[in-house]
Amino acid sequence: MKETDLLTVSEVAGRSGFAASALRYYETEGLISSERTAGNQRRYHRQVLRRLAFIKAARNIGLGLEEVRSELDLLPLGRTPTKADWQRISRDWRGRLDEQIQALERLRDGLDSCIGCGCLSLRRCAISNPGDVMATRGVGGAGFLPPLLRRPI
């Protein structure tokens, strides 16, 4: 492979939309890889752009880093997702988005009962219990939320 087939950090950053620091981070986390020049500078194969596009899409869907890693690990030999891979994965993600949308709709509907209320009751207010404290006891409004929409306090 000619050295001109390899991309610099700034080229990859410019084309992918990720900051150079994000590229280093993803490389440290093993999601992408690079080669080093004789001067110890990073060079990326062009296919890294498709892998980064996949990472960006996954993050936009709301996948955490470990979930992104799991998806990428499913690909043989760590290769870049193909069109067929993407069709399978995007089908799965559609289900995930549907679940998120339904959870947000339930949350919005729960908010309707808060308007003019103001009780902020941990027992019955779905909005004031986002950490799902009461759900662990089998009661409480945070049951409105699936795990992926629950945020730690």
114 binds ligand FES (CB under 6 A): yes
DSSP the chain: --GGGEE-HHHHHHHH---HHHHHHHHHTTSS--EE-TT--EEEETTHHHHHHHHHHHHHHT--HHHHHHHHHTSGGGPPP-HHHHHHHHHHHHHHHHHHHHHHHHHHHHHHHHTTT----TTT-SSS-TT-TGGGGT-SGGGGS-GGG----
117 binds ligand FES (CB under 6 A): yes
Find the binder of ligand FES among 53, 69, 113, 150 (CB under 6 A): 113
123 binds ligand FES (CB under 6 A): no
Find the binder of ligand FES among 49, 127, 133, 139 (CB under 6 A): 127
Is the Cβ of residue 59 or residue 123 nearer to ligand FES in the bound state?
A: 123
108 binds ligand FES (CB under 6 A): no
Is the Cβ of residue 100 or residue 113 nearer to ligand FES in the bound state?
A: 113
